[in-house]
Amino acid sequence: MRFKAVFIRVTKELLRDKRTLALMLFAPLLVLTLLYFVFDTNSETNLKIGVDDHVPEKIVNALPSNKVDIVHIQSPDSIKKTIVDSKLDSYLTKHGSNIEVTYTNEDPSKTASTKQLLGSVMQKNKMQDMVDIVEKLPDHMKQGNAQSSESIKLDNHYLYGDADSTYFDKMFPILIGFFVFLFVFLISGIGLLRERTNGTLERLLATSVKRSEIVFGYLVGYGLFAILQTLLIVFYAILILNIEVVGSIWWVLLINILIALAALSMGIFVSTFANSEFQMMQFIPIVAIPQVFFSGIIPLENITNWVSVIGYLFPLRYAGDALTNIMIKGQGFEFIWFDVCILFVFIFVFTILNIVGLKRYRKV
């Protein structure tokens, strides 16, 4: 009977808490739906390869059109600039008897796919050259000269990283931003929630302090610890884990501090819709987890356009792009200014929403 009483009490509490019940039932469906569209759409990697006029036509024609988008480049002034401007995965040119390949290497998995594809093409080309030469020789000379053909070889270069680069090198800058966002989001949200449930916020609102002053006070107070956490994560990754940063460490710190402040303002805003720590945790599948899918860990060009557009609603999309440009590509402000501006927009918008949101607790 006591078991029955506990069971009935728990069931009734869940049925009364409509939001908890809805999140429990439908949040997993949301995450599974995102996973379906992200991983099931255009799973075949499509490579974008640039070639100049010196590359033999037989090599270019041998590249499979269903896997490769070929961009013909005429006399580039700078291979690096051409790769960056045209957003190529690799660039082919011919010097002497060698095909020189410059891999972008921003995504090592694409570099590996390109190497495998070019290796297969070159092997087929070599075999075909040998067959052509042998067929042209007199019968009595075929046996001794079958190996005399000069074969074309690949000479590999890397725009970013080197031959030992792994996919983890691409993931790590984004993971740093994600962990900064996740923990600041939770700590700030739960912290303000406790202030509210303990009555501290109500007593503060009963004074003459303006709503904007309360919000800025929370933002600066939590912001100091968020910045401290950010510095700890970044320097630990660089000094202890030996993560290479090609660009300026100061830009890395700036982006992570901005994502921490964005998480702080979003966490405070979301906490106004939660009545307990448990409900605050329930917002993770809605606010935090989807950002991983659209942060750049999964190549957005492989996702259907209408799905990838969702990523532009999340700050980690811009932070991941900026951190990749700095830590992997070594680029400066001229390549990250747009992402920096958008992060400032997120901070500004959610700060305003927080000020307006306090009206539900005190109309001033």
Domains of the chain with bracketed CATH: 47-158 (3.40.190), 166-360 (no CATH)
Higher pLDDT, 245 or 121: 245
d(CA 5, CA 1): 6
d(CA 254, CA 211): 28
Q: What is the 3-state secondary structure (H, E, C) of 154-221?
A: EEEEECCCCCCCCHHHHHHHHHHHHHHHHHHHHHHHHHHHHHHHCCHHHHHHCCCCCHHHHHHHHHHH
Higher pLDDT, 315 or 356: 315
Higher pLDDT, 351 or 105: 351
d(CA 326, CA 249): 8
Residue keyed to tokens 């994560």: 233
Q: Which amino acid is at 61?
A: N
**pLDDT for 136 beyond 60:** no
Chain-centre distance for alpha carbon 25? 28
Provide φ and ψ at 330, rounded to 5°.
Answer: 70, 25
Measured between alpha carbons, how far is residue 287 from residues 33, 122, 150, 316, 327 in Å?
Answer: 15, 47, 59, 11, 26
**What pLDDT is stored for residue 281 in this prediction?**
77
d(CA 322, CA 334): 11
Report which listed range, 54-63, 125-134, 150-159, 257-266, is most confident: 257-266
Alpha helices by DSSP H, listed for the chain, are: 2-16, 18-40, 57-62, 79-86, 108-136, 142-145, 167-197, 200-205, 211-235, 249-271, 277-281, 289-293, 305-308, 315-327, 333-357
Higher pLDDT, 303 or 84: 84
Categorize the per-residue pLDDT at 139 as very low, low, confident or very high, splitting at 50, 70 and 90.
Answer: low
- Mean pLDDT value across residues 7-30: 64
DSSP annotation of 363:
-
Q: What is the pLDDT of residues 206-239, one digit of tens each?
A: 777 777 777 788 788 778 887 888 888 888 888 8
Q: Quick one: residue 41, left, alpha or beta (phi over 0 = left, psi -120 to 50 = alpha)? A: beta
Question: Can you read off the two tokens belonging to residue 74?
Answer: 């005429």
- Sheet of strand 90-95: strand arrangement: 68-72, 47-51, 90-95, 98-103, 153-158
Categorize the per-residue pLDDT at 36 as very low, low, confident or very high, splitting at 50, 70 and 90.
Answer: low
**pLDDT for 133 beyond 50:** no
- What length does the chain have? 364
Q: What is the pLDDT of residues 67-122, one digit of tens each?
A: 788 888 777 777 788 887 778 888 888 777 777 888 888 777 788 888 888 777 77
**pLDDT for 336 beyond 50:** yes
Express as a percent the part of the chain with pLDDT over 90. Answer: 7
Least confident of 7-11, 192-196, 284-288, 307-311: 7-11
